[in-house]
Amino acid sequence: MTGRASWTSEARASGLMVLDATEKGNHPVYSKSDGLIEQEIVGDSLAIQYVLNQVRIVAKTDSMTLIQGETGTGKEVIARAIHDQSLRNRGPFVKLNCAAIPGPLLESELFGHERGAFTGAFAQTKGRFQLADKGTLFLDEIGDLPLELQPKLLRVLQEQEFERLGSSQTIRVDVRVVAATNQDLSQLVANKQFRADLYYRLNVIPIILPPLRDRAQDIPLLVEYFVTKLSARFKKVIDSIPEEVMRILKAHDWPGNIRELQNVIERAVVLAPDSVLRPALTELKQMTKQRSAAATRTLAEAEREHILEVLKQTDWLIGGRDGAATRLGLPRTTLVYKMRKLGIETRRSSRVRSVQQKHDTEPPLFERAAASGLPTERFRAVANF
């Protein structure tokens, strides 16, 4: 199911995108058959579809999952989706933000405490692990978990048992843990700020959320989704979006990702004097200009840009003597892994993709490409991937 804002010929002529009532709410979303779902995950880029496919697969397992991505990319939304699609969805979804609670209190938040365990512990209290029994515990900002608590977390992840503070009685639970972070955990491990054993335990199934600027294709869908949702909430009628506005929204680099986009749309909806969406675009343009690329670039971003540059030079040929992997001095499989991790899509034309889909059942790809008159140069990139 795909949902796109429609462009009528009159709208195109007038430079307005018209929100077609019949298509409102018709977004590509994941949904649950029992209808309990309240959050839509909007997007039809390959990158987000890849993530949603991972969600569908991991949800059915009980594996530990680590969600990584920049701020505002939807880590919490994905954590909830995993819970909602899992066999535990009738159980609780309990959340704990490790960065929001000071170190000494965090232990008690996680595991609970007995009355009198410390000054101010006036009553016995259950920790989040116990509250999440038979459900999912979402440990947000896991990179901020103090080092001294990390062995305790590792123990409960491995053995599903712990003791409350001030008690020697062991409590057993049945909890699935989903963790999230916007930090580079492997870097924290290298800096000895995060235990390697805990990192490997958490990172059984990694899910990497792509930044919004790398899936600009989803921006019109998201804009339409937020306009529809927010105009209903604020009882406004917004029925068109100027073409120029959409062009600028698609070009902005969105450091705050989907949350930033949502805020920009919310402000525009609230302040709209008529039914046309006109966000404060000069603000966006200035913000983009102010950010110097090097000053804000993380190591992962720099790596990503470098890989993209080399891929461009090799016309997206990955393997072989002249491929990007050789130029980067990496084994092909390592480069493919890195590309997935960094959310780099292979550039495949739809023609190429449709033939590649058949590839599973009808090799060899290259020969069929040549026989069907398709450009075999492009095929080398796909075949090598």
Binding site for ligand ATP (CB under 6 A): 40-43, 69, 71-77, 182, 258-259, 262
Mark the segment that binds Mg ion (CB under 5 A) among 51-59, 60-68, 69-77, 319-327. 69-77
The smaller minimum CB distance to ligand ATP, of residues 23 and 40, is found at 40
The smaller minimum CB distance to ligand ATP, of residues 207 and 335, is found at 207
| Separation of alpha carbons 109 and 376, rounded Å | 59
- Type of residue at 374: L
Q: Residue 108: which of ligand ATP, Mg ion, none does it interact with, CB under 5 to 8 A by kind?
A: none
Binding of Mg ion by 39 (CB under 5 A): no
CB of 77 to ligand ATP, least distance (A): 4
The smaller minimum CB distance to Mg ion, of residues 96 and 355, is found at 96
CB of 38 to ligand ATP, least distance (A): 10
The smaller minimum CB distance to ligand ATP, of residues 98 and 175, is found at 98
The smaller minimum CB distance to ligand ATP, of residues 74 and 112, is found at 74
Burial class of residue 88, CB neighbours in 10 A (0-12, 13-18, 19+): buried
Binding of Mg ion by 184 (CB under 5 A): no
The smaller minimum CB distance to Mg ion, of residues 23 and 76, is found at 76
| Separation of alpha carbons 270 and 233, rounded Å | 10
Residue 213: DSSP 8-state = G
DSSP string, 272-305: -SSSB----HHHHHHHHHHS-HHHH--HHHHHHH
- Type of residue at 140: D
What count of residues does the chain have? 385
**Are 243 and 211 contacting, i.e. CB atoms less than 8 angstroms apart?**
no
DSSP string, 11-74: HHHHTEEE--TTTTT-------TTS---------SHHHHHHHHHHHHHHTS---EEEE-STTSS
Q: Where are the beta strands (DSSP E) in the chain?
A: 16-18, 65-68, 93-97, 112-113, 125-126, 136-140, 161-163, 170-172, 176-181, 205-208, 240-242
Binding of Mg ion by 20 (CB under 5 A): no
Which residue's Cβ lies closest to ligand ATP?
74
CB of 250 to Mg ion, least distance (A): 24
Query: Dihedral (C-alpha) 75, 78, 84, 86: value to the nearest 10 degrees?
Result: -110
Mark the segment that binds Mg ion (CB under 5 A) among 73-81, 107-115, 220-228, 341-349. 73-81
CB of 178 to ligand ATP, least distance (A): 12
Q: Residue 86: which of Mg ion, ligand ATP, none does it interact with, CB under 5 to 8 A by kind?
A: none
Question: Residues 6 or more apart from 242 whose CB is under 8 A from it?
Answer: 15, 16, 17, 276, 277, 278
Binding of Mg ion by 256 (CB under 5 A): no
CB of 180 to ligand ATP, least distance (A): 6
Q: What angle do CA 42, 246, 80 make, to 5 degrees?
A: 15
The smaller minimum CB distance to ligand ATP, of residues 172 and 291, is found at 291
Binding of Mg ion by 315 (CB under 5 A): no
Which residue's Cβ lies closest to Mg ion?
76
CB of 76 to Mg ion, least distance (A): 4
Binding of Mg ion by 23 (CB under 5 A): no
Binding of Mg ion by 76 (CB under 5 A): yes
Residues interacting with Mg ion, by CB under 5 A? 75-76
